[in-house]
Amino acid sequence: MFESAAPPPRFKPRFSVNMPGFKFRGGGFARFAFKVLLVLSPLFFLRGCLITYVAPGQIALRQVAFGPSKGLQKKLVGPGYRRQVRGYETVRTFPRDIQIIEFTNNPAERSADHRTVSPINVPTVDGYPVSVDVTVMYRIADPFKVVSRFGFGRAYEDNVVIRLTDPAVKQHLGELRAEEFYGDKRLLKAAHLRADLAARFKDNGLQLSDVLIRQYDYPDTFQSLTEQKKIQDQSVLTNRELTKQAEVDTRLKRTVAEGQNLINLRTAEFQAQITGINAQRALYERSRHAEADLLVRKAESTGNEMINRSMEGAGSDKLLRLRKGLALLNGIKGPIYISDDPTDLNNLGRNQ
């Protein structure tokens, strides 16, 4: 097909050189395809040497090998076809979507699209190691800072995500007791953990999307140890309550004794007052009785004196006889038959 139409040279070299001939045999379509390939091959070669492609889910940095702008450039390179001169510069790509690291031993959660490491053993305040499954979701916010500190590749996963997450989870969740992992306190500690990790990730060029505390695995001896600890706690509480009860009983007895002493003191004071009042009453009664007796004796003396004086006057002999008659009548026992008038003093005088 391709045969030379030029005339033979006029001078032949002294040393003959045999060049291999090339002949292409095929149909018209094959010849056309071959011509297209010859035309496009340089274009593909230039494209491979001058242009690179940044995927939509990636972001890139330009690294210049030599020249005045040598080194890593801070300006970010977005998705699409971008300039890259082979040997002079290199476009380094990084994922800009959400990345995930799983802290778990569950084989069902292992996947090729994210990294999986061992779960975090959290020592709680009551001495129980709790195995916690944690999911950390993050993205690269500042590729230049990440590359400057940790280089190219995925070294930032070990140096930032794993290295900072493990102690932070132990610090915040380790302040809980084992049974508090299923309460509201865990939510509060998880919020503190999220805020702490977000600040630490930001200092290293990463942006934390979320931290998920998903599963808690207790040790096999947790139940028996918990029962023993609960018994010990109940014994301590019981002893504490018994001590408080003894203190209360002591205070109650002291209060009762003080009250009884106060009652006895007040009773003695009242008895003394009553005794004084009774003595005053008795003195008053005796004085009044003495005055009354004196008045009675004085009245009797006056009455006797008046009687004696009346006896000395007219009619005294009749009164004397009347009194004798009354005394005589009072001394008689049994019925008395009277035929005369007992009030007739003349008959009484004659009978005597």
Q: How many CB atoms lie within 10 A of CB 100?
A: 17
pLDDT of residue 306: 78
d(CA 38, CA 107): 52
pLDDT of residue 92: 72
Q: Closest Cα to residue 146, out of 206, 76, 63? A: 206
Second CATH level (architecture) for the domain 99-219 = 2-Layer Sandwich (3.30)
pLDDT of residue 299: 87
**Is residue 151 packed enough to be buried (19+ CB in 10 Å), middle (13-18) or exposed (0-12)?**
exposed
pLDDT of residue 141: 83
Torsion of CA 191, 193, 194, 200, to 10 degrees: 150
pLDDT of residue 11: 47
pTM score, two decimals? Answer: 0.51
d(CA 2, CA 286): 173
CA distances, 76 to each of 47, 71, 99 (Å): 21, 14, 19
pLDDT of residue 108: 79
Which residues belong to CATH 3.30.479.30 in the chain? 99-219
pLDDT of residue 3: 43
Q: Closest Cα to residue 164, out of 104, 215, 101? A: 101
d(CA 164, CA 158): 9
d(CA 343, CA 81): 172
Task: Annotate 188-242 with three-state secondary structure.
Answer: HHHHHHHHHHHHHHHHCCEEEEEEEEEEEECCCCHHHHHHHHHHHHHHHHHHHHH
Q: How many CB atoms lie within 10 A of CB 84?
A: 20
Can you say how many angstroms the Cα of residue 283 is from the centroid of all Cα atoms in its chain?
77
pLDDT of residue 195: 92
Q: Tell me the pairing of strands 99-103 and 115-117.
A: parallel
Residues 150 and 156 sit within 8 Å (Cβ to Cβ): yes
Residues 181 and 216 sit within 8 Å (Cβ to Cβ): yes
d(CA 91, CA 61): 6
d(CA 106, CA 132): 12
d(CA 74, CA 61): 7
Stretches where the chain sits below pLDDT 50 are 1-6, 11, 13, 15-17, 19-22
335-352: burial string, b at 16+ Cβ within 10 Å, e else: eeeeeeeeeeeeebeeee
d(CA 273, CA 280): 10
